[in-house]
Amino acid sequence: MTDAPHDDQPFRLHLNRKVPMRDGVALSADIYLPRARPGGADARHPTLLLRTIYHSKDPRYVGWTMGFVKAGYAVVLQDSRGRHDSDGRWDPYVCEIPDGVDTHEWIARQPWSNGRIGTFGVSYPGFTQTCAAPGGSPHLQALVPIASQQDNYGHHRCDGLVAWANTVFFMNMLGRTMQGEALARLDFPAIWRRLPLHGVWDDVGDIPYVRGVVEHEAYDAFWSVYSLRHRYDQVEVPAYFMTGWYDSLLAETLRVFRGWRTRARSELARRKTKLIVGPWSHQVAPWGRPEKGYQPEPDGRFDAAVFGPLACMDIVAEHVRWYDARLRGVPGGIDDEKPLRLFVMGANLWRDEDEWPLPGTRWIDFHLRAGDGRNGGLTREAPAVAEVPARYRYDPDDPVPTWGGSYQMKDLGGPKDRRDIAKRADVLVYTSAPLEGDLEVVGPVTATLHAASSAPDTDFTVSLVDVHPDGRAVMLTDGICRARFRKAASGWTPADLMQGRSPYERLYEDPAFRPEMLTPGVVEEFRVDLWATANRFKRGHRIRVEISSSNFPRYDRNLNTGGRIGFETERNVAEQTLRHDARHPSRITLPVVAVSD
């Protein structure tokens, strides 16, 4: 243990303190304490905990810690089991439940803690907070999970597909430390294309979790053993959730927020839990990028969009506001604010709301209309007569590249300009006339396609784009449907969104559900979940919808054979037909909350 309690330091530091778990394994923690005042009156402090697989000495979190200590909080930065300086073997996600509870109990027994604990962290450290919350520790009283999840069935296995790049990233978790330096020298575009998926890392190392993601197509014990879906009713403590419209964990964070607000055991947790969603991604957020010293862009600039200074936030100060209210009972106004704070892109303003989705939402259909070849129209009016269908070829050897959207990697996700993507022969483009007034869309977005394929199984993708008068085609949100899972969405309507039900909830809920292949050439209905967005389409802008069959490497490629996902290597080209006529009204459904005529 290293101890630096000297008066010339603004804090006291204890490095690599061993924290015993119930099974005798010791986890390593760094402890930062406010400098003691004369007389020792402030010897015990409310304590903030980070539990991470990435390293307790991450510069971002050490920087946050300095702000927390300055505000009078003790801070514990702990390496997860089997990671870095901690002992034991890391069992992804599963081990975090008992280890989190045991760490809470250990902190409460320390002479520098007053027994009141708050937690913080982004992504995996967001989940280490929420997964331990149902454990019943009376000491845990405030969470700030950023980019967290309910489980990984909606993150690494999304509506039955494999979120491929996210899964491949888990190679970084081989061993005790991050493998970034070695992996940076690998050709990832080539690795992403490896087949079968199940053996992607056979020549590098064995990663059981990656194999498990590929093997477990159904929502079984592999996913449910650490899921929050069946444990919300054990939650006693409120949480302040944070995410971004371009975050790869946006959909999961919305699920967790709704579960906390509607199903938590305590009235306090249900009433006080909050959510903020900004114009951010998993890597581009208020705290900035590592290559810029974690400083945000002052004008809110992000790829093809500029969101203005309101998109920035003092992340440490926002945490402290929450902790002061929960751990110190200091009335700072945060409990008087509405539970949701949503940034509306385009308007570049915040909306403060009471519920998600927003009460009074008008679910408005915009219909895909036939046009010239790949380019069609988008209208409020449904087609009244037969219209010429659109056709394209999907070749899994030449997939549509991921470019924008809620993607984990900052170089490919976010509000990208899609003009080059729209030129591809395998992308259908449907664009509205210039809007005569502003149209504000806030909430979940879905699409309904009527399509046929020459293949027994294939994918259909939908992207929602804001086309600016200068020609920029800015990605807002997107989604994908794997044909074999289409029947899981049978009977679903947009009204179900008001109950928090996405189109593919049945994949979670019905163990008897079985995938069903297509009959080649037969037109069927496909529901596509585009997650959610908040955007004001300004007067003169146009709404665009893109249709295709791949989004790679964000999702695995459908090889169009109908074989077992992740274990096949044969690839076929699929001939796709999209119908949009009076009998087959293909459309996107937008949650309109304000319209200026």
Q: Say how many C-beta atoms besides its own lie within 10 A of residue 521's C-beta.
A: 10
- Structurally, the chain folds into a number of domains equal to 3
- Look at the block and give the residue holding tokens 């399509």: 451
Question: Do 494 and 533 form a contact (C-beta atoms < 8 A)?
Answer: no
- Considering the domain architecture, whether residues 301 and 425 belong to the same structural domain is answered as no
Indicate the average pLDDT of the chain. 92
Segments forming the whole domain that contains residue 315: 2-160+217-353
- Considering the domain architecture, whether residues 440 and 574 belong to the same structural domain is answered as yes
- Considering the domain architecture, whether residues 504 and 367 belong to the same structural domain is answered as yes
Which one of 216, 233, 259 terminates a domain?
216
- Considering the domain architecture, whether residues 449 and 551 belong to the same structural domain is answered as yes
Q: How far apart are CA 170 and CA 214, in angstroms?
A: 13
* CATH number for position 449: 2.60.120.260
**Joined tokens for residue 369:** 């209309």
Tens of pLDDT, residue by residue over 303-347, are 899 999 999 889 999 999 999 999 999 988 999 999 999 999 999
Tens of pLDDT, residue by residue over 501-529, are 889 999 999 988 999 999 999 999 999 99
The contacts of residue 8 (CB under 8 Å, 6+ apart) are none
Q: How far apart are CA 555 and CA 404, in angstroms?
A: 13
Q: Which amino acid is at 349?
A: L
- Considering the domain architecture, whether residues 434 and 468 belong to the same structural domain is answered as yes
Question: Do 89 and 81 form a contact (C-beta atoms < 8 A)?
Answer: yes
Q: Which residues are catalytic?
A: 123, 247, 282
Q: How far apart are CA 343 and CA 345, in angstroms?
A: 6
In angstroms, the Cα distances linking 535 to 440, 464, 541, 580, 594 are: 6, 11, 12, 26, 11
Banded model confidence at residue 300, pLDDT cuts 50, 70, 90: confident
- Considering the domain architecture, whether residues 202 and 249 belong to the same structural domain is answered as no
**Joined tokens for residue 115:** 């027994």
Which one of 317, 332, 353 terminates a domain?
353
Q: State the average pLDDT over residues 486-497.
A: 88
Q: State the average pLDDT over residues 562-576.
A: 97
Q: How far apart are CA 255 and CA 122, in angstroms?
A: 17
**Joined tokens for residue 584:** 């087959």
Is it the case that residue 410 has pLDDT exceeding 80? no
**Joined tokens for residue 333:** 């106004």
Adjacent-strand bridge partners of 117? 47, 140
pLDDT at residue 166, as a whole number: 87
φ, ψ (nearest 5 deg) of residue 375 = -105, 120
The SS3 assignment for 320 reads helix
pLDDT at residue 517, as a whole number: 98
How much of the chain, in percent, has pLDDT values that exceed 90?
78
How much of the chain, in percent, has pLDDT values that exceed 70?
95
- Considering the domain architecture, whether residues 222 and 79 belong to the same structural domain is answered as yes
Residue of 138, 93, 96, 88 whose CA lies nearest to 117: 138
Residue of 331, 139, 338 whose CA lies nearest to 236: 139
Residue of 147, 163, 180 whose CA lies nearest to 290: 180
Tens of pLDDT, residue by residue over 135-161, are 889 999 999 999 999 999 999 999 999
Q: How far apart are CA 147 and CA 285, in angstroms?
A: 11
DSSP class per residue in 499-551 = GT--TTTHHHH-TT-------TT--EEEEEEEEEEEEEE-TT-EEEEEEES--
- Considering the domain architecture, whether residues 100 and 196 belong to the same structural domain is answered as no
- Considering the domain architecture, whether residues 460 and 408 belong to the same structural domain is answered as yes
Q: How far apart are CA 525 and CA 532, in angstroms?
A: 21
Is it the case that residue 2 has pLDDT exceeding 50? no
Q: Say how many C-beta atoms besides its own lie within 10 A of residue 425's C-beta.
A: 11
**Joined tokens for residue 376:** 């069609």
Adjacent-strand bridge partners of 447? 528, 588
Which one of 353, 377, 394 terminates a domain?
353
Tens of pLDDT, residue by residue over 124-140, are 999 999 999 998 899 99
The SS3 assignment for 357 reads coil
**Joined tokens for residue 552:** 């790679």
- Considering the domain architecture, whether residues 474 and 366 belong to the same structural domain is answered as yes
Tens of pLDDT, residue by residue over 180-209, are 777 778 888 898 999 999 998 888 878 888
- Considering the domain architecture, whether residues 368 and 476 belong to the same structural domain is answered as yes
Torsion 33-34-39-41 (CA) sign? negative
Adjacent-strand bridge partners of 86? none
- Considering the domain architecture, whether residues 144 and 201 belong to the same structural domain is answered as no
* CATH number for position 294: 3.40.50.1820
> For the chain, what is the total number of helices (H) and then of strands (E)?
12, 26
DSSP class per residue in 19-85 = EE-TTS-EEEEEEEEEPPPGGGTT-SEEEEEEEESS-TT-HHHHHHHHHHHHTT-EEEEEEPTTSTT
Residue of 315, 293, 297 whose CA lies nearest to 307: 297
**Joined tokens for residue 582:** 């009076």
